[in-house]
Chains A and B, each alone.
Chain A
Amino acid sequence: MELQLGLALPSSPTKVFDLNYYGSEPKEEEISDTWYPSSYQDINQINNKKRSFGRALESGTADRAVPRTLPLLLWNNPPDEEDDSKDLENHSSFTVDENGGDGDGAVGWPPLNSWRHKRLCHDNDPTENGYACGARGPNSTYVKVQMEGVAIARKVDLSLHHSFQTLTETLLDMFGRWLLETGQKNSNEYKLAYQDNEGDWLLTRGVSWRTFIRSVQRLKLLKSSD
């Protein structure tokens, strides 16, 4: 059975439901289908009594305006020019840094869970990279931030900051919603603590930015009244 990345006719439920149908006239790309599982059909028939794909298609066109501007559905570019479309605001590139190492790798690669990361960094020389390893991977400038009294932690990108002031402001912004609830917006009401690469919690007051950035593993915002 040939599969066309094009029209899915509502009258033949055995065809694949193809959302590319909407709003465009795709170039018909014929891809020979290797197999169309019959169990697939059964699922469609058992579960889709009321909402068969064909009817969904029909009801879709009848009830609401078909999304008009879906330019990516127009397959005007032949496949080998598709690379050009990669330079959209896609901030994670497909071309990998050939130089490797040096903290330039992709997030979460190689795929080792945080447990192994921690163990590795503990055992390797912690000063090998520009910033110490540990609670954050060696290729990451993100550290976990917790605010006292708030269950959900966030992450902040330390490479964007060069002073405690901007960092604290950013953090307070991040937790803005909870601050509003408790009626505190003033940055003076909170102090910032961090956990260093030896596991100790320290206040940032009196610590130089340089010392801080080299050893920080995670952050905590504490209420000043403590």
Chain B
Amino acid sequence: MQRMGYSFPEDVLEHVFSFIQSDRDRNAISTVCKSWYEIERWSRRRVFIGNCYAISPRMVIRRFPDVRSVELKGKPHFADFNLVPDGWGGYVAPWITAMVAGYPWLEEIRLKRMVITDESLELISKSFKNFKVLVLSSCEGFSTKGLAAIAANCRNLRELDLQESEVEDLSGHWLSLFPENYTSLVSLNIACLGCEVSFSALERLVSTCPNLRTLRLNRTVPLDKLANLLRRAPQLVELGTGAFSFELTPDVFSNLSGAFTGCKELKSLSGFWDVVPGCLPAVYPICSRLTSLNLSYATIRSPDLIKLVSQCQNLQRLWVLDYIEDAGLDVLAASCKDLRELRVFPSDPFGPEPNVSLTEQGLVSVSEGCPKLQSVLYFCRQMCNGALVTIARNRPNMTTFRLCIIEPQTPDYLTLQPLDAGFGAIVQHCKDLRRLSLSGLLTDRVFEYIGTYAKNLEMLSVAFAGDSDIGLHHVLSGCQNLRKLEIRDCPFGDKALLANAAKLETMRSLWMSSCSVSYGACKLLGQKMLRLNVEVIDERGPPDSRPESSPVEKLYVCRTVAGPRCDMPDFVWRMGEDSALRLS
């Protein structure tokens, strides 16, 4: 058998490897023997780094010298909910600088939860001659000035996606900086921008780019102008509308409706800002083609939602506000048999009383009626174990289950018991469950179930749950595929954490905030586990100024081979050999 490896010339092996795209498979290939390692590393074109501090840019470039696509993630997920103070980190600048030197042929940069400056954007636009794809998902630190540099300098940009980033809107003029006969754009997502972009520039761009398939506009693009854009881009597959309210005269209405009908490939709709129900019928003609519908910013009520959704028989993904109510979800369950993903967001999460009639029943209906349902994000105000058990039994193919009962520690509303049994049923029946978010009243028991049954679980989010360290211990010792664990406001302390210290090296990251982990334990963890980056985030001042037994505000642990980072702000302390010293 040993001979076979040597009988193939390198080109052949390289050709074979080119069919293997998955990172895990490539990683496995690279461990076969030295020559395979070498061939693989020279032929790897795409790198995904789930935590930008896990490795240094230099190390990446040294191992993979000819990468064309880089994806980086920065801040912890809980940064989305304001739990990570500003200035924590996630700066992409050192990566950009290193890649400018190391990857002159870089084509794609995808960032999530990172801080990127206008200077970096300008550097990207001028340094990578073949640059094609820029995706900035939930990023911040830049303005429309940076976008102007991208528009002006990137000759063959295919994709510009600003997905939910915080952009300082200085002016909408930047879009006009795309050269006159620009043809390469395939995807443009500017939905997050606040200010008005030059409509004529938009029109021009849409006209000259025959391959444009994704266009997500921002709120300022008015409905009466949408038809113009659609007529110029009948090949569109994904559209995000601007504001969806207008006094539609019959002429304007039929023009718009006709424009929608003309888009024979249109499968995904989003936007619907400020939607007025009277305008919705304009999209009825294309509903049956839709596979993805994002109405999560559309404040329309159940009857209008029902009318719309009942026509979308081929829907696979629906994001909607809880205005849909149980009645609407019943209709969804009856009409949309191909549904794979459902997200129901709260319309009034901070109100003390429910404002809509959305309960656990809606989710049960959908779980019964939609055999392909595998991904759920559901905000509601009441839940019972019975419903969760039913959902689990109905949908053993569930892979993502994120339930948010709005009031923390809400028990089963029928029995007033904890929801341990319900979530236990979920992990027991859904053997492929990869992501789980818990809520409601939960004891250590639910964690025992999770540790016992959730063998494929990769990401777990926990809030206001559990009784003691036993709970955390069950998860850390039982879930062998766990990669990301994020915990807030739970009575978990030192024991489980320290007993399972080695587990943390097999995970990407652990977040614990408002728990009972002591400063002393954090120090110990940092001192003993050299391949972990153990950070204490505490805005009250240096942890040294409080007793060792005092709990830290926030703890963030990541595995890393890059050693300490040097961009920590003054409210972050790294626990390490010299945790008394701060590296600055």
Contacts and interface: CB of A to CB of B under 8 A. Distances in A.
A11 interface: no
A34 B495 contact: no
Interface stretch (B4-12, B55-63, B244-252, B524-532): B524-532
**DSSP class of A's interface residues: helix, strand, loop or mixed?**
loop
B192 interface: yes
Interface in B473-526: 473-474, 477-478, 480, 488-491, 493-495, 498-503, 505-506, 513-514, 516, 518, 520-521, 523-525
Contacts of B480: 35, 37, 39-40
A31 B473 CA distance: 9
B495 A20 contact: yes
Interface stretch (B21-29, B38-46, B79-87, B104-112): B79-87
A152 B520 contact: no
Nearest to B377: A111
A17 B350 contact: no
A151 to B, nearest CB: 7
B379 A101 contact: no
B550 interface: yes
A44 B379 CA distance: 41
B348 interface: yes
A58 B544 CA distance: 27
Interface string A99-133: 11110011111111111100110011000010000
Interface stretch (A66-74, A161-169, A183-191, A204-212): A66-74
Chain A interface size, under 10 / 10 to 19 / 20 to 34 / 35 or more: 35 or more
Nearest to B119: A151
Contacts of A79: 467-468, 470
A5 B407 contact: no
Interface in A75-116: 75, 79, 82-83, 85-86, 88-92, 94, 96, 99-102, 105-116
B316 interface: no
Q: Which 9 A-B pairs have the closest CB atoms?
A: A108-B81, A101-B352, A92-B514, A19-B498, A113-B80, A17-B502, A37-B480, A152-B87, A96-B408
Given A79-B467, A102-B352, 17 more contacts: A5-B495, A5-B499, A16-B503, A19-B521, A36-B477, A73-B494, A79-B470, A82-B491, A85-B493, A88-B549, A89-B550, A109-B463, A110-B379, A112-B349, A129-B350, A144-B86, A155-B86
Interface of B: 78, 80-83, 85-87, 117, 138, 141, 164, 166, 192, 194, 296-297, 299, 345-352, 379, 404, 406-409, 437, 451-452, 461, 463-464, 467-468, 470, 473-474, 477-478, 480, 488-491, 493-495, 498-503, 505-506, 513-514, 516, 518, 520-521, 523-525, 527-528, 530, 540, 546, 548-551, 553, 569
Interface of A: 3, 5, 16-20, 22, 26, 29, 31, 33-37, 39-40, 43-44, 51, 53, 56, 60, 67, 69-73, 75, 79, 82-83, 85-86, 88-92, 94, 96, 99-102, 105-116, 119-120, 123-124, 129, 137-140, 144, 151-155, 199
